[in-house]
Amino acid sequence: MKPPGIAKWFAPGEIEAPPDAASAALRSDRFRLERETDWRRLEEIVARMEKGSIRRVNDADLLALPTLYRTAASSLAVARETSLDAATLGYLEALVQRAWFQVYGPQTGLWGWLRGFLKGGWSRAVREIWLDLCIALAVMVAGGVVGWLLVARDSEWFYALVPGAMAGGRVPGASREQLLDTLATENGADGLSIFAASLFSNNAGVAILAFALGFAFGIPSLMLLLHNMALMGAMLWVFASQDLTFNFLAWLSVHGTTELFAILLAGAAGLHIGRSMAFPGERSVLVAAQESGRRAAVVMVGVVLMMVVAAFLEAFPRQLLAASTDRLLIGATMLALWLAYFFAYRPRGTGQSEA
């Protein structure tokens, strides 16, 4: 597509165009001639990039691309303001739109994005919120201790902390045999896929809520983490009272190391946004929220993936493996894998982290 040329001039004696039309054509022609070289260069670069030949674009052209785009966008604004001819205006609108996608649009497809996400993008985002992770982890540990101590002092606290539907037969005063029955395996995997779907919905809801509450300066997110771990502490006390601590932890670890890690990440991501808004430093609150929001969003995409894994582990391996040692082995392996991925796996070019 070539920039439009000047309107035709009539020879002496022929019917001349109206003065206003001739003046507009002259303005448009001068406007085009002054900028045509940049437009054509931009169009050539964009055309090569649209054909997937970005490797053929030299470094000088790539560096010039943003400047050429801004020049074309400025030309378009002037063309609209001065009401230049429709052909020039249409050409610039098309060129600016095409260039915008190359400068600001997504440069990779879904699989390319997913590859970059898994090969460093996700783990880097998690490391960048390390301070929020430490705060959230401390709150979760404190919640577990508080739940244990409250129920140890007065068993009625158990019913205040643990919903009846979730407790099942796991209540204070239950016999050892009754508690062991709640940790028993299923005879087969039939129907467990439905169970996995319901678990995923519930666990993902908790994680998303912990993230969403972070916008209120992170305090509600921490309270939610505290309450959920108090629930776990209360449940742990029930099993410990019947000398079933190892059995319960093994049963829980199959999915818990993944699920609780995901909830920890979600709470830390929400806290990261809230803390950035409460203490923006030299940035404005809006800028701080935008920067932390982008980082937290990457973490939350990974949290959803972890919840899918946790739901599968909870519905199948945990329900089909009877031996506590086997269950604990799976849970410990998953925890080691997550820790290695987030804190030890640092591909070249992704090792830099921000506080």
* pLDDT (0 to 100) of residue 54: 63
More confident residue, 120 or 144: 144
Q: Is the pLDDT of residue 200 over 50?
A: yes
Average of pLDDT values for 102-129? 80
Query: What confidence tens digit (pLDDT) does each residue in 218-256 have?
Result: 889 999 999 989 999 999 999 999 999 999 999 989 999
pLDDT at 25 over 70: no
pTM of the model: 0.68
Of 29 and 188, which is predicted with more confidence?
Answer: 29
How much is the pLDDT for 214?
A: 83
pLDDT in tens, 153-192: 999 999 999 888 777 788 999 999 999 988 887 654 444 5
Q: 7 with 17: CB under 8 angstroms?
A: yes
pLDDT at 217 over 70: yes
Mean predicted lDDT score pLDDT of the chain: 82
pLDDT attached to residue 60: 82
Does residue 336 have a pLDDT over 50?
Answer: yes
Q: List, for residues 265-293, the tens digit of each pLDDT value.
A: 999 999 999 999 999 988 898 888 889 99
> pLDDT at position 275, please?
92
Please state, in angstroms and rounded to a whole number, the distance separating the CA atoms of residues 55 and 246: 58
78 has a pLDDT exceeding 80:
yes
Rounded mean pLDDT, 97-111: 72
The 3-state secondary structure of the chain reads CCCCCCCCCCCCCCCCCCHHHHHHHHHHHHHHHHHHHHHHHHHHHHHHHHCCCHHHCCHHHHHHHHHHHHHHHHHHHHHHHCCCCHHHHHHHHHHHHHHHHHHCCCCCCHHHHHHHHHHHHHHHHHHHCHHHHHHHHHHHHHHHHHHHHHHHHCCHHHHHHCCHHHHCCCCCCCCHHHHHHHCCCCCCCCCHHHHHHHHHHHHHHHHHHHHHHHHCCCHHHHHHHHHHHHHHHHHHHHHHCCCCHHHHHHHHHHHHHHHHHHHHHHHHHHHHHHHHHHCCCCCCHHHHHHHHHHHHHHHHHHHHHHHHHHHHHHHCHHHHCCCHHHHHHHHHHHHHHHHHHHHHCCCCCCCCCCC
Q: pLDDT at position 1, please?
A: 57
Mean pLDDT over residues 87-113, rounded?
77
Would you state the pLDDT for residue 116? 83
Domain ranges of the chain: 19-103, 111-344
Tell me how far apart the alpha carbons of residues 146 and 223 are, in angstroms, rounded to a whole number.
Answer: 13
Question: What is the pLDDT confidence band of residue 79, given thresholds at 50, 70 and 90?
Answer: confident
